[in-house]
Chain A
């Protein structure tokens, strides 16, 4: 069974925050009961990629979507943290939407740099996914389950790639100003807000300005994609976790002679390095730990 080949949960706790980072494709009922608030992060589906690192990116994306649909207690929403498509082609957006349309819960999608290629990419992405209430170039925030969610945009052409920009930072400053320090904050963005590997473009140039705005909150979490692997990090009060892709892995930062881009793995081991993430909150917006039960 293919889904069973996904790697298991990676649990992570600290500072009163607890997550279950699920990647096994079989989310167990014990981990999700009525009354809990949960959401799912999917990332980097790269629909349109045709190279040796994954012969069928639509199938693996569908595997992840099907696994979410099989969760006995459905998440509040699914966030796709970008690189939905590989080349921003119309057909790629159509194919991705067809797969995502089978999800049973609302889907929020933010762009990766592969979704905003050329003159038409940003238009296609906006037509497909951008929230109607989004500000600026598509950033948005909302309150749900006692949590304040923020979706940032840090991709774009030229000087906007890997940059939040002053307009967005100003918006973020105003957006966060009204929140009490004990409000759990969850921030989404495609490119890691912290410097994972700047030489590979795995950083947000002005990310530290956003991180500084988050420091006064007792529980701020930043979830990113882009690098197709789990990297966890902490800057003061702010915790970070990047997500696996559903399309293909990339080399770990610092790997000798490696470069960013699709990494072909041994036959049969691809599904073990792909996945998605569940994030669960129980009760009055208190994060709660969940045991590893998968893998």
Chain B
């Protein structure tokens, strides 16, 4: 099971498709007090689903405060669409040592 999940995470880190319309669903899992993958590249407009697999409360919160899942219990998920290109860093407010990054690629010219 873990190997399968790990494979899925690897797949999520390969170069993202050029547009959100072509992009497969992408998710970040929270497990053992970590965001997995810790660094994710997505296309502009891509929606990312964050899933809390831990038996503990977590949040998915932009470091700049622009978005916040608020509290997620085990099994709960939250989605956010990344509309602007750039690098976004985020954390869990309950566990500030949990940090991760999403790189949003702009659409090709």
Interface on A for B, CB 8 Å cutoff?
48-53, 86-89, 113-114, 116-121, 157-158, 161-162, 201, 259-262, 264
Q: State which residues 2-57 of B face A: CB under 8 Å.
A: 32-33, 54-57
Shortest distance from the beta carbon of B47 to any chain A beta carbon, whole Å: 20
Q: Would you give the shortest CB distance from B81 to chain A, in whole angstroms? A: 19
* B93 close to A161 (CB less than 8 A): yes
Whether B94 contacts A114 by the Cβ 8 Å rule is yes
Q: Name the contact of A117 in the complex, choosing from B32, B33, B59 (C-beta under 8 A).
A: B59
Q: Given contacts A88-B71, A113-B94, A262-B56, could you give 9 more A-B pairs where the C-beta distance is less than 8 Å? A: A48-B71, A49-B73, A53-B55, A87-B57, A87-B72, A116-B93, A118-B71, A118-B93, A261-B33
Chain A nearest CB: distance from B100 CB in Å? 15
Residue of A nearest to B93 (CB): A157
Total A-B residue contacts, Cβ distance less than 8 Å: 69
Minimum CB–CB distance from A44 to chain B (whole Å) comes to 12
A174 to B24, CA, bound (A): 58
In the bound complex, residues from chain A placing their C-beta under 8 Å from that of B59 are 117-118
| Chain A binding surface, main DSSP class | loop
User: Given A53-B55, A117-B59, are A88 and B70 also a contact pair (CB < 8 Å)?
Assistant: yes
Q: Which residues of B contact A89 (CB under 8 A)?
A: 71
Report the Cα distance A190→B56, complex, angstroms: 18
A53-B55, A119-B68 are contacts. A161–B96 as well, Cβ < 8 Å? yes
B70 vs chain A, min Cβ distance (A): 4
Q: Assess the A158–B55 pair: CB atoms within 8 A.
A: no
Asked if B79 is at the interface (CB within 8 A of a chain A CB), the reply is no
B80 vs chain A, min Cβ distance (A): 14
